[in-house]
Structure 1
Amino acid sequence: MPLLEVQTARQQQQFCDLPHRLHRHAPAYIGPLDNEVDAVFDPAKNQLFAAGGVAQRWLLTTAQGEVSGRIAAFVNPLTSTATDASLPTGGVGFFECIDDQAAANQLFDVANQWLQARGMLAVDGPINFGDRDRFWGVLIDGFDHEPNYGMFWHPAYYQALFENYGFQLYFKQYTCHRPVHLPLHPSFHQKLASFEADGHYRFAYARKAEPEKMAQDFHHVYNLAWGRHAGVKPMTLEQARHLVQQMKPVLDERLLAFAYHNDQPVAFFLSLPELNQIFKHIGHRLNLLGKLRFVWQRWRYMKRTDKKLLGIIYGVIPDYQGKGVDQALLTWEQKRFIEAGYQNIEMNWIGDFNPRMLVTTRSIGAKTIKTHATYRKLFVDRPFERYPIIR
């Protein structure tokens, strides 16, 4: 089958259209927004290009010219040697394909050859040319559940296409769910009561009217809690300000809560209304009409009392870990979730390399309902190692 490099505007649109054409009849399918996929490959919008990153996309077509597959390959200079300096690793992502191993092999071959020509000794996929919070992993379980915003829905045969080609499991990604009203363990309430009785601690949610304070508090906790983890780069204050600005149109301020000790932020828990529950009524093109539809659909959704929220990230700075601050903060937040009309919460994926976080989710009664997988394939003869466990 002919392979084409994505170069023209028409080919870019064909790249975006393919998953919607392949999966539109699947009941659980909700696709990504075209503009967000395009932004990944736009040097004006993706700062990895300025940092020395490179990316390429391909379309696979039939003899009649119909698109039957797509793939992207990229080298992220900030993470290519993050876990092993002796094994520079590129990425493939945005893979979509008909149920045909030979077609998939063509896509994998062209992407991997492109990466090897740029000095890569391994490839991870499917991943994003950017952060892990979106477009990461292939769905391998939970096909009857709708994807959360930023995550792909895939048909079951994709797993076999990757594994038959020789990709090996690098790590699993678990999406966990719990009803908001599900009671927390009494010990959580005891922690909250203890902290509230201590005059040095307080809990509060963010205020849209104070974006600078929101950015500074988030920046402080995030860098101390997450900035030293492999594959996670520290955030600048300017990036935090930009993040707050991006979130403002969709942020329910009751879903970003902070714990303070002597007015110093020591923990946060960030959630958002689950945006795919809005976007599924809009379509995948956020043009002017799409934006108008979004405003209307968001207004309707926020009036509902059966909303779903997506837990994005929580963090506790090291000096306060193990003290129960996170348990107290979650207990404090539960009441606000209920008052705001949220019935269900799903948490942004947690890797199997993070057992402490998985224990935390189990402690609040959350259960895994979706599993994605990130694979790795070596181009050199050496023992395969899975992603290192966070200790």
Structure 2
Amino acid sequence: MVSTDGQLAISIEAVSGKKGRARFVDVGRAFAARVENSVPQLRSEQLELVNPDKNPFFGHAKAQLFIAMRAGQPVGRISAHIDELALQMPPDQGFGPGTGMFGYFDAEDEETAKALLDTAQNWLCEQGMSRCVGPISMSIWEEPGLLVKGQDHAPVIMMGHHPAHYQGWIEGAGYERIKTLYTYDLDITYEFPPIVQRIVKSGMRNERITVRRVRKKDWDAEAATILAILNDAWSDNWGFVPLTPEEVAHTGVKLKPVIHEDLNMIAELDGKPVAFMLTFPDVNQALAKSGGKLFPTGWWHLLKWARKPLHCDMRVPLMGVLKEHQNSRLASQLAFMMISEISDYARSKYRSKRAEIGWILEDNQGMVAIADTIQSQVNREYAIYERPLS
């Protein structure tokens, strides 16, 4: 068959099972390999994210994966998914009743993009949804948003990377941007401004405050503490969906290999944990050498990097302060204290020169103010879109 513009017609296949998921992942990997500055991720990790038996996200969500075909060749992919916990959130926080999502979006051309989006929307309509939000691949805690600024440099650990033309295709399909997520680039070779140094010194003199390293030997308990603070601290944020106990346990296990004690901090007030900051060395710099494969030599690059990740960039993916202390001087003071201490270690021990902070919601005034005060600059923007379903 031939479409109206003379191209061979597109067919959309719903895929499932081990072989279907593997095809879906491999289509995405082939597209990523063609995007400038993209970094190949571990295939095993990508397979786990879409496997209902291994990703606890599916304990409260369901999804359908689709692959677009033309002339017997894959020309795109998309997921359509429904998070039952997101449906229970207040609508003014981004999701709420009737909200389905799309993610893992790749397309050869605009015709394919439209066919994939239409297919995902139709599936969501069949499931009773009235609104589609995306791209979110697949949990809000994984890779939310479409990269619309920052394609000129490689992504850091756990950040999505998409070609610029996807923006026009999604917007051309009737989607409107509802939220922008920022990441900030921070040069840590310079001292922080005097005002930050004064705030940090004041906090160090406060006997009620303790900023300490995480204890990797007690990592299960430490991870539970951190994620409990996260669930509380982010609970009023746009896009928030609570992490379940199963996800907390799973996340703790997944994070442990990239945890270095001196790069991750918990702040205590009167001996009670009230804030945290996580910092990960950028494993993408090792993955770029391994090609996203453990064999035959990828394991060696990753093992060498894991033992001593020198001269690598850093990423601060998560931080939080308990709600009872937010919108106070203490919240910003704790943040500056943790940022300052982690930066010192990153610079002196790991010989790092830069860090990336984020993502940060565009209207998170507190975090945007902190990022501005330490003189970091926006280096990437991710857009999240919505459209009604008829």
Asked if Structure 1 and Structure 2 have the same fold, meaning a TM-score greater than 0.5 normalized by the shorter chain, the answer is yes
Name whichever of 193-202 and 171-180 sits farther off.
193-202
Q: Distance in 2 between matches of 1:110 and 1:219?
A: 36
- Structure 1 runs of 4+ with >6 Å offset: none
1:172 aligns with 2:180: yes
> What TM-score results when the alignment is normalised by the length of structure 1?
0.87
Residues 149-188 of structure 1: pairs in structure 2 closer than 5 A? 149-188=157-196
After the TM superposition, which residues 56-135 of structure 1 pair with which residues of structure 2 at under 5 Å, given as runs?
A: 56-63=64-71, 65-84=72-91, 87-98=97-108, 100-130=109-139, 132-135=140-143
Aligned counterpart, 2:357: 347
* Residue identity opposite 2:160 in structure 1: F
Matched letter for residue 389 of structure 2: F
Counterpart among 38, 41, 52 of residue 43 in structure 1: 52
Are the structure 2 counterparts of residues 86 and 126 from structure 1 closer, same or farther at C-alpha, using a change threshold of 3 Å?
A: closer
Gap regions ≥5 residues in structure 1: 381-391
- 1:300-315 matches, within 5 Å, as 302=309, 304=310, 306-315=311-320
Shift of 1:208: 1.4
Is 1:12–2:21 an aligned residue pair? Answer: yes
Q: Distance in 2 between matches of 1:219 and 1:151?
A: 20
Once the two structures are superposed, the pairs formed by residues 186-265 of structure 1 within 5 Å of their partners are: 186-235=194-243, 239-265=247-273
Q: Is the 8 A contact 2:177 2:383 kept in 1?
A: yes
Tell whether the 8 Å contact from 1:191 to 1:325 is kept in structure 2 after alignment.
no
Q: Identity of aligned pairs, percent?
A: 24
- Correspondence 1:34 to 2:43: yes
Structure-2 change in CA distance of 1:220 and 1:134 (3 Å): closer
Q: Does the Cα contact within 8 Å between 1:81 and 1:88 map onto a contact in 2?
A: no
> Is the CA contact (8 Å cut-off) linking 1:271 and 1:312 kept in structure 2?
yes
Structure 1 residues 267 and 369: CA distance shift in structure 2, 3 A? same
Using the TM superposition, give the Cα deviation of residue 76 of structure 1 relative to its aligned residue in structure 2, in angstroms.
0.8
- Whether the 8 Å CA contact 1:5–1:57 is kept in 2: the answer is yes
Change in CA separation of 1:204 and 1:277 when aligned onto 2, cut-off 3 Å? same
Deviation at 1:10, TM superposition (A): 4.3
Post-superposition Cα deviations, 1:323-362, rounded to whole Å, max 9, x if no partner, equal: 2222223223322221222211001211223232222211
Q: Deviations over 1:142-198 (max 9, x none)?
A: 111111222221111100110111011011111110111232121222222222222
TM-score for both structures, normalised by structure 2: 0.87
Change (3 A) 1:120 1:213: closer
* DSSP-derived class of the 1:336 partner: helix
Instruction: State the Cα deviation string for residues 212-234 of structure 1 (Å, max 9, x = none).
Output: 45235424532432244454344
Amino acid at match of 2:13: L
Q: Which region of structure 1 is more displaced relative to structure 2, 101-110 or 4-13?
A: 4-13
Going from structure 1 to structure 2, the CA distance change for 1:318 and 1:86 (only over 3 Å counts) comes to closer
* Greater Cα offset, 371-380 or 159-168: 371-380
| Cα-Cα RMSD | 2.4
Q: Which of 316, 319, 344 is the aligned partner of 2:321?
A: 316
Q: Which moved more, 1:68-77 or 1:23-32?
A: 23-32
**1:261-284 per-position Cα deviation (integer Å, ceiling 9, x unaligned):** 222122211111112112122223
2:272 corresponds to which letter in structure 1?
A: Q
Deviations 1:283-325 (A, max 9, x none): 23456864454213433x61x2x22011011112234332222
- Report the more deviating stretch, 20-29 or 340-349: 20-29
Matched-pair contact (CA < 8 Å) for 1:19–1:31: no
Paired residue secondary structure (1:120): coil
- Label 1:49 to 1:316 Cα distance change in 2 as closer, same or farther (>3 A): closer
Count of residue correspondences: 373
Whole-angstrom CA distance in 1 between matches of 2:252 and 2:97: 36
For 1:247 and 1:153, the matched residues in 2 are separated by 21
Residue 328 of structure 1 pairs with residue 337 of structure 2: yes
Unaligned runs of 5+ in 2: 1-9
Match of 1:253, as an amino acid?
E
| Contact kept in structure 2, 1:74 and 1:91, CA below 8 Å | yes
The answer to whether the 8 A contact 1:133-1:150 is kept is no
**Matched residue type, 2:251:** L
Q: Distance in 2 between matches of 1:212 and 1:14?
A: 34
